[in-house]
Amino acid sequence: MEMLKTDGITMQFGGLTAVKDFNLVLNKGEIVALIGPNGAGKTTAFNMITGVYIPTKGKIYYKGKDITQMAPHNITKLGIARTFQNIRLFKDLSVLDNVLIANHLHIKSNLFEALLRLPKYKNEDKKMLKKSLDLLEIVGLLDVKNEKSSSLPYGMQRRLEIARALATNPEVLLLDEPAAGMNPKETEDLTKFIKQIRDDFDLTIFMIEHHMQVVMGISERIYVFDYGITIAHGNPNEIQNNQRVIEAYLGVDDNA
Amino acid sequence: MKKRDYYLTVISLILLVIFLYFADRYMDAYIVRILNLCAIYTVLGLSMNLINGFTGLFSLGHAGFMAIGAYTTAILTLSVNAKAQNFFLEPIAAPLANVVLPFFPSLLLAGILAALAGFLIGAPALRLKGDYLAIATLGFAEIIRVIFTNTQNITNGALGLKGIPAYTNLWWSYGIAAFTVLFMVLLINSSYGRAFKAIREDEIAAESMGINLFKHKVMSFTIGAFFAGIGGGLLGNLLGTIDPAMFKFTLTFNILLIIVLGGMGSITGTVISAFVVTISQEALRFLDQPMDLGFIVIPGVAGMRMVVFSILLMLVVLFYRHGLMGTNEFSWDRLINILSFKKPLLKGGKK
């Protein structure tokens, strides 16, 4: 089943074309990676899918529904969650609060029911708390639930961001460089972790990553960007042997 | 809540009520008035802290909301005769001349009208961020003031309103202050309050966690305006006289001073700071008098005491940005620790 599909999305900033005619297809349960040199437009593609930017051209479909013009919070509500390349936690708030906040979008009680702590709200609040604690346990952050989120070590902050994204009940999860700045051991753990949450939460995962170990290890298909153009698409094996990908990463020897 | 904390809370509330009872009966009018002002500034500080401190919206429109509240209650509580006396330049608009309401519905209406104004200004202005929002809201407050100066047959223009019945007493002001504190605590600790804090921390992240930024910003702004209106109403009926010049930017500045000193994002901080600032504004009145320092005589300059607050504000912003409480709140544990000179519990320590 096609979860997410983009139809030739293009993003222009003035005279600069950051992404050109990107055609993405995500099938249910897949782990797909997007790679490319720095400044290739990968995060821009993410921002278009999540509604931060509205594409200059092209359409985005989520389960067949056109979401091109939708606001970011509505897209999240439909079931697309994301993490950020430069971690964006709610720094001054506790680890638990960070995850609780991500439950807020599905709240059914209105402001007055919440203020008066009516049974409907109390019930919802209890469920939110339980779900958040469960998620924190899964990502192994239950022990630090009352710490300020900015006080956590880097690897834990990354995992907290994923837990927070999971709290929105997503079906498609976009990870922007989840392994950035991690050591080999942490990277290996993360690779397992991504696979595990895909299975446990029935997710479709689309990620940007530079760590080839992670990319080649878990992704079923790979898209390669260079200067906003999709220069290759295929399974890890095909990508590793693709001449254009090698050129984009290593450069072309003009003297040859 | 622990049983001990529950008893301590009940006991201190009873002590407060007893204190208010004696203050109301036996203390002189000057002190009672300062105590009233403390409570009113608590309400105003909390309402501004909700917008600026908890939701992170830099709004400077508070004087405008207060003006709406003060004028609404004043016009609604003034007796028919007092209205006739006040409006001697131009008679008051027909339907208002004979409307006289009791204090509570007038206050409620003051809050509702201020909230409505908050909603109407918030809907377009909250699309702006940071300094731009501050400028827009500041402009709004000025517009309200200018409108009130020029609507002679509704607000009596620059002449202001005199002889407003002094309904505000300790019971009203402290009752409403207590209600506001309770309301804010319940709001901030609810899911909606968490959403407000998320917007303050990181708008982009909050939005991608599915929080409707616009809706929650307008919500916070409207609630803040509601309490600002009620605070304004209490103030008008305490002072007995209001005129548009009262609601200049300096009034907003006073409240901003309270929340910055107390800590942006702390209910406790705002309450403490409201009392400290209000009381010291009176205590520092000697600075406005001529002073003889022995070798030099400083002539009396009205407003000299405000310099102290300006310097204090500068020092806090430069060296102690979190204010008195930061984003921390009061708890009995903390107080008992401070009183017994014990070091605070280490993180993760057993209680």
A190: contact with B, CB 8 A cutoff: no
User: B202 and A88: CB-CB below 8 Å?
Assistant: yes
Q: Does A158 touch chain B (CB under 8 A)?
A: no
> Three-state SS for A241?
coil
Q: Confirm or reject contact between A105 and chain B (CB < 8 A).
A: yes
Which residues of chain A are within 8 Å of residue B194 when distances are taken between CB atoms? 93, 97, 100-101, 104
Residue A256 pLDDT > 80:
no
Interface probe for A, chosen from B196, B204, B208, B322 (most Cβ of A below 10 Å), is: B208
- The strand pair at A80-82 and A221-226 is best described as unpaired
Q: Give the nearest chain A residue to B199 (CA atoms).
A: A90
Residues A68/A251, Cβ–Cβ less than 8 Å: no
Chain-chain contact of B191 with A105 (C-beta, under 8 angstroms) = no
Residues pairing with A199 in the sheet:
none
For residue B199, the distance in angstroms to the closest alpha carbon of chain A comes to 9
List residues in chain B touching A: CB distance below 8 A: 183, 186-187, 190-192, 194-195, 197-198, 201-202, 204-213, 219, 327, 347
**B74 burial class (0-12, 13-18, 19+ CB within 10 angstroms)?**
buried
Report the distance separating Cα B143 and Cα A28, nearest Å.
56
Q: What is the pLDDT along chain B (351 residues), one digit of tens a residue?
A: 678 888 888 999 999 999 999 998 888 999 999 999 999 999 999 999 999 999 999 999 999 999 999 999 999 999 999 988 888 888 888 888 888 999 999 999 999 999 999 999 999 999 998 899 999 999 999 999 999 999 998 999 999 999 999 999 999 999 999 999 999 999 999 999 999 999 999 999 999 999 999 999 999 999 999 999 999 999 999 999 999 999 999 999 999 999 999 999 999 999 999 999 999 988 888 888 887 778 888 777 777 888 888 898 899 889 888 888 888 888 888 888 888 765 555 544 444
A77 touches chain B (CB under 8 A): yes
Q: Do B198 and A93 touch (CB under 8 A)?
A: yes
Instruction: Provide, as residue numbers in chain A, all residues whose Cβ is less than 8 Å from the Cβ of B198.
Output: 90, 93, 101, 104
Per DSSP, the residues of B160-182 read -B--------HHHHHHHHHHHHH
**What's the gap between Cα B285 and its chain centre?**
22
Cα–Cα distance for residue pair B125/B128, rounded to 1 Å: 6
pTM of the model: 0.91
Counting beta carbons within 10 angstroms of the beta carbon of residue B53, is it exposed (0 to 12), middle (13 to 18) or buried (19 or more)? buried
ipTM of this predicted complex?
0.91
Contact B201 A121 (CB under 8 A): no
- What pLDDT, in 10s, does the model give residues A77-135? 999 999 999 999 999 999 999 999 999 999 999 999 999 999 999 999 999 999 999 99
Specify whether the CB–CB gap between A85 and A179 falls below 8 A: no
Per-residue pLDDT tens digits for B11-44:
999 999 999 999 988 889 999 999 999 999 999 9
- CB contact under 8 Å between A101 and B209, yes or no, is yes
Indicate the residue of A50, A90, A103 with minimum beta-carbon distance to B202. A90
